[in-house]
């Protein structure tokens, strides 16, 4: 098979407002086009309210969405319940909070066996398969009979990863999989994901707020702002020469662990004005980043920029992209 594993066309999510009669909708995700190539690690980066989680969930049809999602050639938005259930085993999600994503009443073994049963593994083989999965994520077989509360946050996230792998997926969407973990444990879980991805030839969408982390591990990075994809391209290019002013702001906002560089970051942050996201109820006509942008012109406030190719690679939605030479 060739071509992208996932191809998304005009994927749009509207959240109902107020509910019930006469409800209006707000755009949680503006119409988005995106391809996820086979075997790549695509990172989706954004701050709260950027729509990154919405995109991840809509991609797996976990929330209602409009548009089209072609997964390995099959359009899944139009699929019925039964066909969707079959496709689901090929795409899995890992959530941020390892404490609420595991059922506290079920042993690790039971959680895994249920998933294995769901994909048709015969009863006799389930235990062996589950123990194999546990060892693959760096936990011993002794984890099998225990309840989630016996494990630390990092270990729980390993269990969640084992559960996601149990169906033998082609695509794993990991939504902030390490941000609830201690710094020294984060890298361990990221390494595990990288190893598993390499071993199994997985395609991975890694959703994160941490541009520094994903710059190190991703093949491509997509940056989201206010429900829109504003830039997407090779990871190295985005971190070295960002094209969208918002990507540049994200890049410059994280103080690195070095005194001189971190103090410079702080100086810059002190100069920037108050941070306000536009209102979802009353979205701006032009570019949503324009009110915070040092490069904004009249056209930015009037016309929303569409994604177009950037000379250094990737796509950017900006009327005045940076680093064009």
Partner 1 sequence: MGGEVFRRLIFLPVTLFFVATLVFLALRALPGSSIELLGSQFTTAGLKEQLIADLGLDKSIWEQYGIFLGELVRFDLGRSFLTGKDVSSMVGETLPVTIELAVASLVVMTIAGIGMGLLAGAFPGTLADGLLRTVSVLLFSLPWFWFGIVLIIVFVLWLGWFPAFGRLPSSVDYEAVTNFVLIDAIILGRFDLVVPWLKHVTLPALTVGLTTSGVLMRLTRVGVIETAKTDYIRTARMKGVPGPRVFFRHILRNVALGILTVIGVQFGAMLGGSVIAEVVFGYPGIGRMTVDAVLNRDYAVAQGGAIVIAAFYVLINLATDLSYRWADPRLRRGGR
Partner 2 sequence: MSAPLLSVRGLTAELGSGAQRVTALRAVDFDVRRGEITAIVGESGSGKSTAAMALARLNEGPQGAFSGEVRFDGMDVLSLNSRALRSLRGQGIAMVFQDAAAALNPCETIGDQIAEAMVVHKARDWRAARAHAIELLGEVGMPEPARRAGLYPHEMSGGQRQRAMIALGLACDPALLIADEPTTALDVTVQGQILALLKSIVARRDMGLILITHDLGVVAALADQVLVMYAGRIVEAAPVAEFFDAPHHPYSGDMITAASVALDAGGRLATIPGRPPHSGDVGESCAYAPRCARASNQCRAALPSLEPHGTRRRACFHPLDDA
Q: Which of 233, 259, 235, 252 has its CA nearest to residue 294? A: 252
> x/- binding map, residues 53-92, to partner 1, per CB under 8 A?
----------------------------------------
Contact segment (CB under 8 A) with partner 1 among 20-28, 124-132, 235-243, 298-306 equals 20-28
Block residue for tokens 């973990």: 181
Contact between 104 and partner 1 by CB under 8 A: the answer reads no
79 versus 280: smaller Cβ distance to partner 1: 280
Contact between 18 and partner 1 by CB under 8 A: the answer reads yes
CB atoms within 10 A of CB 13: 23
User: Nearest 5 degrees, angle CA 94-CA 97-CA 102?
Assistant: 75
Q: Which of 48, 16, 31 has its CA nearest to residue 304? A: 31
Q: Which of 60, 2, 4, 84 has its CA nearest to residue 36? A: 4
18 versus 140: smaller Cβ distance to partner 1: 18
- Alpha carbon dihedral 57, 61, 67, 69, in 10-degree steps, equals 100
Q: Quick one: what does residue 150 bind among partner 1, partner 2, none, with the CB cut-off 5 to 8 Å set by partner type?
A: none
DSSP string, 276-311: -PPPSSS--SS-TTGGG-TT--HHHHHSPPPPEE-T
Q: Quick one: what does residue 87 bind among partner 2, partner 1, none, with the CB cut-off 5 to 8 Å set by partner type?
A: none
Q: Which of 1, 11, 14, 22: binder of partner 1 (CB under 8 A)?
A: 22
124 versus 260: smaller Cβ distance to partner 2: 260
76 versus 178: smaller Cβ distance to partner 2: 178
* 3-class SS of residue 2: coil
63 versus 277: smaller Cβ distance to partner 1: 277
Q: Quick one: what does residue 256 bind among partner 2, partner 1, none, with the CB cut-off 5 to 8 Å set by partner type?
A: partner 2
Name the site residues for partner 1 (rule: CB under 8 A): 18, 20-22, 279
């Amino acid at each position: 098979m060739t071509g992208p594993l996932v191809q998304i066309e005009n994927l749009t999510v509207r959240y109902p407002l107020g509910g019930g009669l006469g409800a209006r909708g707000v755009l949680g995700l503006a119409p988005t086009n995106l391809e996820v190539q086979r075997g790549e690690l695509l990172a989706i980066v954004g701050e709260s309210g950027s729509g990154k989680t919405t995109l991840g969930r809509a991609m797996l049809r976990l929330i209602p969405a409009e548009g089209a999602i072609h997964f390995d050639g099959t359009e899944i938005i139009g699929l019925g319940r039964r066909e969707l259930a079959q496709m689901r085993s090929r795409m899995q999600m890992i959530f941020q909070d390892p404490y609420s994503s595991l059922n506290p009443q079920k042993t690790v073994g039971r959680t895994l066996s249920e998933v294995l049963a769901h994909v048709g593994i015969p009863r006799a083989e389930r235990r062996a398969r589950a123990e194999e999965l546990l060892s693959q994520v760096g936990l011993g077989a002794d984890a099998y009979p225990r309840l989630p509360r016996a494990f630390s946050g990092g270990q729980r996230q390993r269990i969640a990863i084992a559960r996601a792998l149990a169906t033998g997926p082609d695509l794993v969407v990991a939504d902030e999989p390490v941000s609830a973990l201690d710094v020294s444990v984060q890298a361990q879980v990221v390494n595990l994901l990288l190893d598993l991805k390499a071993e199994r030839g997985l395609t991975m969408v890694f959703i994160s707020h941490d541009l520094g982390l994903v710059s190190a591990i991703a093949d491509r990075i997509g940056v989201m702002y206010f429900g829109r994809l504003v830039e997407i391209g090779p990871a190295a290019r985005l971190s070295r020469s960002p094209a969208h002013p918002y990507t540049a702001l994200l890049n410059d906002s994280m103080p690195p662990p070095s005194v001189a560089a971190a103090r410079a970051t702080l100086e810059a942050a002190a100069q920037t004005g108050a941070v306000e996201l536009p209102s979802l109820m009353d979205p701006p006509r032009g570019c949503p980043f324009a009110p915070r942008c040092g490069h904004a012109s009249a056209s930015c406030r009037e016309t929303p920029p569409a994604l177009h190719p950037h000379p250094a690679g990737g796509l950017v939605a900006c009327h005045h992209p940076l680093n064009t030479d």
